[in-house]
Chain A
Amino acid sequence: MDDETRPLLEVSDLSVDFQGAAGWTRVLDGVSYDVRAGEVLGIVGESGCGKTVSSLAVMQLLDLQGGRIAGGDIRYDGRSLLGLGRRERDRIRGAEIAMIFQQPMRSLNPAFTVGHQIADVVRHHTGCGRRQAWDRAVEMLSLVHIPSPQERARAYPHQFSGGMCQRVMIAMALACSPKILIADEPSTALDVTVQEQILALLRELRDRLDLAIVIITHDLGVVADLADRVAVMYAGQVVEQAPVLDLFADPQHPYTAALLAAVPTEVHRSERFVSIPGRVALPGEWPAGCRFATRCPVVDGERCTDHPPPVHVDGPRSVRCVRVGEPALVKQGVVHGRR
């Protein structure tokens, strides 16, 4: 494969366990996805589905949280990240793959100026001098469109609004020119008008820097805005993966279809809100068969409940459902739920 098509990041069959009261519990189960340069992968799912855990695994931050990789592989630029020495791991984390989080305010140290904090990262990774690192920090602040970056670099986090803090976080994450940015709910804590600007900034940076972005979100609007491809997660697994237009136009997994239908876009106030009955099965209580079976509107008895559903792969699309492609689903209005 040439460089154009080879994924920068490949997560394959990744399983993660967390230490709980009753020993190790599987929270991520055979997750695979990849992302290329200049591409945005959206990982969408509800709370507890494992979307954040998979990115913590990529960032090698699991051990801090009491988790461990139980199987599978994570490859960056063709090389496995598992079993790397500490030094090499630290180099890749930040210089090659960077991450931003939901709460920008909490991610910054209130006691230091933002310029200082960005310069710190630069010096840690490149070993350059103070002066140079500071210049880089100012340059990064201007890249993320913070007005008068020279002066603002000397300001403290509390002097920034939430949206501006997230810009600072993005500046810090990109200061060492990583090739991959993992953004975990980057706009969830922000106001919608600020979210709009952060999403526009991420799109711009993707184009200017040929950045690969993995965006983790529960908001299908954000996915529709930014993602080129989407992985839908449910109870620790990827249940559907598809190019964004295909996914929204023609969801194949009953869960994806239900999730799309639950977005109150055109709901009239006299209509019922669409919701999915029941709740997500938590780690440790996953059934043997399909994990969505208890909530699925088209569950087909033992076929669904007794065996794990196979993954159907069709070109760029994959679906984890035993009934995929059955005409009955379309007839019942489960898939193509949005028309």
Chain B
Amino acid sequence: MVAVDGANPAGPPVIAARNLHKTFVTSRNLVGRAVRTVPAVQDVSLAVHAGRTLGIVGESGSGKSTVARLLLRLIKADRGSVSAGGIDVSRLRRRELRAWRRNAQMVHQDPFTSMDPRMRVRDSVAEPLHVHEPGLGRDEVRARVDDLLRSVGVDPGQGERYPSGFSGGQLQRIAIARALAPGPSVLVCDEAVAALDVSIRGQILNLLRDLQRERGIALVFISHDLSLVRAIAHEIVVMYRGRVVETGDAEQVFAHAAHPYTRRLLHAIPVADPVRQRERQATTTEPATGPAPVAGCQYAPRCPLRIDRCGAEPPPLVDRPDGGAVACFVASGTRDGTGGGPARAGAGPVRVEKGPAPC
């Protein structure tokens, strides 16, 4: 199945999360009861479709990597569910989970730490095949690994080498080959190009996009770099302190960011143009500081649009006319609890707007 870039997603999502909650315990008392907890992910819902790329953006502590781990069921959610192809992944038992895992694979930030330094890279790529297709013969595995390496632009002859013999860009290609080995329908890339040099980054992004087109894979692209996400993602989820503050079509979010935090993020990235960047500086304002309200919007202490209500209750994700959604009383026009779009009860999967699909 080939999904054309810019096409609207057809059919059900490949993977969808509903109302995910995850709280980490950071310290326990003598009898093992949690005394300090961090709500890492709160009420996050999203959906990824075949051949599409969902970008998750946020700063450190926003919960974006926790969402990735929840999606892949590497950790269990406290509440909420992850479903994929009609299966409720959160209910799978160990053996079923293992079989399911071949559908969803991950590419990490630094290939030098995600690949075993004492294994030939060929064997690293073959490892998921041994796990998921134990019936394969030696020659078949060899042929499959050769194909995988070729598909990511690495000469199979180099497979006998160890990770230390590769540059970061080459090794990240091999890490992608390993992730592709079990034939996943979803690939989660957690800061997969953040450790690479600018001149190499484009190669890996192009590769991911080519692979997506060839195989119709759904990509979840997690990054702190909004300009990168804009360039690769179809839809964007912006997270702040564990909550989704804005979602929508990537171009829409960039052109008409609604949430004050999204706008702040967009403004904070320095543009590689000294003339424009120096104009932008003048408008930079120091954000207000203070503790985040326990009950209300987490962004309220830094927010220039703050109203009284923000400190009292968390703003729900409200649909916008252009198809996105924003969690802000002011931006969504629901300051007084009436008007504006319909509040999403718990927010369903991220919908994709019907707006013009740029191609």
| A contact set with B: CB distance below 8 Å | 46-47, 147, 162, 191-197, 199-200, 203, 218-225, 227, 244-245, 248, 258-260, 262-265, 267-270, 272-277, 279-280
Asked if B269 contacts A279 (CB within 8 A), the reply is no
Q: How far is the CB of B203 from chain A (nearest CB, A)?
A: 4
Contact of A224 among B53, B170, B268, B271 (CB under 8 A): B271
**Residue B163, interface by CB 8 Å:** no
**Contact of A273 with B202 at beta-carbon distance under 8 Å, contacts A147-B289, A224-B277 already known:** yes
Q: How far is the CB of A232 from chain B (nearest CB, A)?
A: 12
- Chain B residues, CB < 8 A from A194: 59
**Contact of A275 with B200 at beta-carbon distance under 8 Å, contacts A225-B281, A268-B358 already known:** yes
Asked if A220 contacts B272 (CB within 8 A), the reply is yes
| B contact set with A: CB distance below 8 Å | 5-6, 53, 59-60, 167-170, 197-203, 205-206, 224-228, 230-234, 250, 264-265, 267-278, 281, 284, 286-287, 289, 358-359
CA distance A199 to B277 in the complex (A): 12
- Chain B residues, CB < 8 A from A219: 270
- Chain A residues, CB < 8 A from B227: 264-265
Known: A221-B271, A269-B53. 9 other contacts (CB 8 A): A147-B289, A193-B268, A221-B277, A224-B278, A245-B274, A248-B272, A265-B227, A268-B231, A269-B234
CA distance A195 to B265 in the complex (A): 11
Task: Report, nearest first, the 7 A-B pairs whose CB atoms are least far apart.
Answer: A275-B202, A221-B270, A273-B202, A276-B199, A191-B59, A220-B272, A46-B197
Contact of A263 among B203, B267, B272, B358 (CB under 8 A): B272
- Chain B residues, CB < 8 A from A244: 274
Instruction: List 30 A-B pairs, Cβ < 8 Å.
Output: A47-B197, A162-B60, A191-B224, A192-B225, A192-B226, A193-B59, A194-B59, A197-B286, A200-B286, A203-B281, A218-B198, A221-B272, A224-B271, A224-B274, A224-B277, A225-B278, A248-B274, A260-B272, A262-B201, A264-B227, A264-B228, A269-B5, A269-B6, A269-B53, A270-B358, A273-B205, A273-B231, A275-B199, A275-B200, A275-B203
Q: A-B contact count, CB below 8 Å?
A: 132
CA distance A259 to B264 in the complex (A): 26
- Chain B residues, CB < 8 A from A280: 197, 199
Q: Which of B53, B273, B359 has the most CB of A within 10 A?
A: B273
- Chain A residues, CB < 8 A from B264: 193
Q: How far is the CB of A327 from chain B (nearest CB, A)?
A: 26
Asked if A264 contacts B231 (CB within 8 A), the reply is yes
Asked if A193 contacts B60 (CB within 8 A), the reply is no
Q: How far is the CB of B165 from chain A (nearest CB, A)?
A: 12
Asked if B265 contacts A192 (CB within 8 A), the reply is yes
Closest Cβ neighbor of A145 among chain B residues:
B286
CA distance A270 to B286 in the complex (A): 36
CA distance A270 to B203 in the complex (A): 15
Asked if A265 contacts B270 (CB within 8 A), the reply is no
CA distance A274 to B272 in the complex (A): 15
Asked if A262 contacts B202 (CB within 8 A), the reply is yes
Q: How far is the CB of A244 from chain B (nearest CB, A)?
A: 5
Q: How far is the CB of A193 from chain B (nearest CB, A)?
A: 4
CA distance A194 to B268 in the complex (A): 8
- Chain B residues, CB < 8 A from A272: 202, 206
CA distance A58 to B58 in the complex (A): 37
- Chain B residues, CB < 8 A from A221: 269-272, 277
- Chain A residues, CB < 8 A from B167: 279
Asked if B273 contacts A248 (CB within 8 A), the reply is yes
Closest Cβ neighbor of A44 among chain B residues:
B198
CA distance A48 to B274 in the complex (A): 25
Q: How far is the CB of B285 from chain A (nearest CB, A)?
A: 10
CA distance A227 to B273 in the complex (A): 11
- Chain A residues, CB < 8 A from B206: 272-273, 275
**Contact of A270 with B6 at beta-carbon distance under 8 Å, contacts A263-B198, A279-B200 already known:** yes
CA distance A196 to B268 in the complex (A): 6
- Chain B residues, CB < 8 A from A268: 231, 358
- Chain B residues, CB < 8 A from A269: 5-6, 53, 230-234, 250, 358
- Chain A residues, CB < 8 A from B53: 269
Q: How far is the CB of A220 from chain B (nearest CB, A)?
A: 4
Closest Cβ neighbor of B60 among chain A residues:
A191
Contact of A193 among B265, B271, B278, B359 (CB under 8 A): B265
CA distance A313 to B358 in the complex (A): 45
